[in-house]
Amino acid sequence: MASAKEIKKHLKIALKEIGEIKPFFNKVYKSWIFSHPSYPDVEYAGESKDEVIKNYPLYLKDFIEEMLNNNLAPHIEKAVKGRGGKRAGAGRPKGRRLLKRRIYVPQEIAEDVVEFFHQPNSIKTFRQLIAKSH
């Protein structure tokens, strides 16, 4: 269960990401509506702009609470584009990527090189071969 402090922190991040709440008037439903592409499942409609501006953050807060408590259906979770707060340890580890460079060689050599580099300790072995050739 998410704590109130954690929910407040994620709400602050989400509101910063959303920016100013600017509702628009929908003539079909005759009401003011606001939604944001980062949180497509959170939408609020009201009779006035002020009502929407006041109540949208409350609906967003409820959504974030459900998201943090893992109470969302999988299709809703995938639709959410906003980060809602970055999780500690999320993403790729820093400094583990090898720098790469593209070179062009004949096809038969390329196949041998690909096969060679699929072997364990291939980089170390390759460096040893290069050192011996110099």
Strand partners of residue 33: 24, 45
Structural domain contains residue 10: yes
What is the extent of the structural domain holding 30? 4-79
Q: What is the pLDDT along the chain (134 residues), one digit of tens a residue?
A: 788 899 999 999 999 999 999 999 999 989 999 999 888 888 999 999 999 999 999 999 999 898 888 887 766 655 555 555 566 667 666 776 777 889 899 999 999 988 888 888 888 888 898 898 87
pTM over 0.85: no
Structural domain contains residue 124: no
Give the amino acid at 47.
Answer: E
Structural domain contains residue 126: no
| Number of structural domains in the chain | 1
Structural domain contains residue 92: no
**Res 54: pLDDT:** 94
Structural domain contains residue 33: yes
Structural domain contains residue 49: yes
**Res 20: pLDDT:** 93
CA distance 58 to 34: 13
